[in-house]
Structure 1
Amino acid sequence: MPPGTRRATPAGQPPPERAISRKPTIDDVAARSGVGRTTVSRVLNNGPNVSAKLRARVQEAVDALGYQVNIQARFLAGGNSRTVALICAAELDLEPNSYYQSALEVGALRACTQLGLHLITHAAVQDDPRGVEEVVALVEERRCDGVVLTPPFADDTRLIDALVARGCAVACVSPGDATGARVPGVGMDDERAGYDLAAHLLALGHRRFGFIRGREGHRSAESRFDGVMRALAEARLDPADVADARGNFTFMSGKDLLPTLLSAAARPTAVVCANDDTAAGALFAAHQLGIDVPGALSIVGFDDTPVSAIVWPPLTTVHQPIREMSFRAVEMLAEALKTPGEAQSPVHEYIAHTVVSRRSTGRPELEALPIAATGR
């Protein structure tokens, strides 16, 4: 055989084994299975006119080579970029939790860029009775192939059912139990995060607690409160020694409600806030009242937003992997879009959280709390 030539491989037989040091391509799959790349593409896309025997041979080559479909190339080759909508909450009378929403957008955008998807974002007014119709109309008007729902829309079974009925793929960030049983979701284990944060405070010696809660009905915030209460119950503390007040995730709710907690009969030495914005407001109120933090009062939050590191003292908080959660939610949609028309598996994934200890927490020194702060 002349130099530089190769022995032809009989049709239907795999070529001799050779090492592929680079990432395998569709041409490698075609060569190994002894068919054309068009046939491989038809098999990968569940196309017609391919025998079961040929499909099995192509799939065997895919498995042997570890070939993975390039989703971006698949979408772009079809002449269109699939559209994904990220639905976030808005409340007209309150300042937005800007970092939370922007972090969700960044994570979703990064995933869409990698996967060849087009992202649109929409802020819908929560508790609006027309909210479901508004989101559905947006999906139909923009021809969205998938939707990422964030709280509280991630807890709305009526909205999810309406979207699924229209053939739209859905993934949720921090879904509740009812919605998590319908579609895939990803989040932080909020109950465990509350437990871990309370355990940190208990280890410092705190035995009297306050909690500024989140918006009523917000599942993640309620789970955080439940986790705190579970840790206190395991420490055999009386629930009556926990003063709580209903907030709404804003700076002002922390500022306005801290004095209320400090006037409780069992005056807290540690205050847990449903998020960092609320904790920053509580810290501001403490400064106004002349309360030493953490000497007289420890204050903690959730989310590990940028504000938690720049206030004084910096806030102890729970790092919530917000960008990672929205990134993973988009990946879940991309997986669903590979097999349109098939029911989505309601898989729920947790991404690990961490307690970030900073200078807003310390051992309790109740006598250092000014009497004036209690209103007595």
Structure 2
Amino acid sequence: MQTIAAVARQPHADFTIETLDVAAPRADEVLVRIVGVGLCHTDLVFRDQFVPYPLPAVLGHEGAGVIEAVGAEVSGLQPGDRVVLGFSSCGHCARCDDGLPSYCSDFPPLNYAGGRLEDGSTAFSAGGTPVSSHFFGQSSFAAYTVVRARNVVKVVDPDAPLEILGPLGCGFQTGAGGVMRSMACPAGSSIAIVGGGPVGLAAVMGAVIRDCATIVLVEPVAARRQLALDLGATHVVDPAAGDVTAAIRAILPGGVDFAFDTSGRVAAIEAALAALAPRGMLGLVGVPPKAEDAVAINIAGMITYGQRVVGIMEGNSDPQTFIPELIAAHRAGRFPFDRLVTTFPLAEINAAIDAQKRGDCVKVVLIP
């Protein structure tokens, strides 16, 4: 069969809309008709070769859709099932057994190899030439894609808005999970969140769910600061207005219990670290501009105050349990992520990228 897809052919270049051939799903795969797919900064990071990825490629890793066909060895899934697509993991290593599949020992090859690990084949081709697939196990910038069955999370709520659920598979679960699972912020605690994009605002909503007493968002765009307040942040800081550490400590002189950086910017991370209270924890999820970027840490100060810095992948989430939890929270009005979403046709992906970069919208969802 064939599908329309947004193809990355060159770093730092526009995606091209093309018709590709799609292979039939193998024994452990499913064919999914995509109804919506989130646009994530990570897609652009890989397109632009921050992490090497074989081009041409179909990227996209926040898909949601309907199963059209299943492989011979797939159980528990069938055509017609509504699904969200998560990241790929092996299911049998020590971290997967711990319920932490985002730290799977095979996470990089399963998600970043550009094809099937067993033989290097791809699900997409153009005129007989392979086009890289299986990005995060799914490559969902397409109307149809072939996905590892383990990536698939069934949506049992018939009223859940399927076309905008895809970002729960990465950005939203990273932000919410970072607060709710990785750092497990307790009720009454304080948190400073750096960056008011999709991940940061999901973290704000996660902090509200966890009943954090003080929720500070650091964000330069005024509209996003206001949205954070609407979503439950107690304070906002404009980093352009001056010293971010001083601004946070003006709100909480003793420092914050938790800080969560979504920016990847060294100066922002160091400002958040300097705002920590004794025994405070800083969680890092933002991709830095350069792979060699590093943060300076005062070793004596960290020892003296018992402070902690942790890297966080996908919010420590097990998609099979956490995505349904977020869908239920949305239904209950406690995780209103739909307020962050603006939809664009998949064919307008380049315009959508520009709009998101300008700050015209918070989270783009592309509709094939």
Shorter chain as denominator, the TM-score bin is 0.3 to 0.5
The structure with the largest helix share of the pair is: 1
State the TM-score, normalizing by the size of structure 1: 0.34
State the TM-score, normalizing by the size of structure 2: 0.35
The structure with the largest strand share of the pair is: 2
Greater Rg over alpha carbons, structure: 1
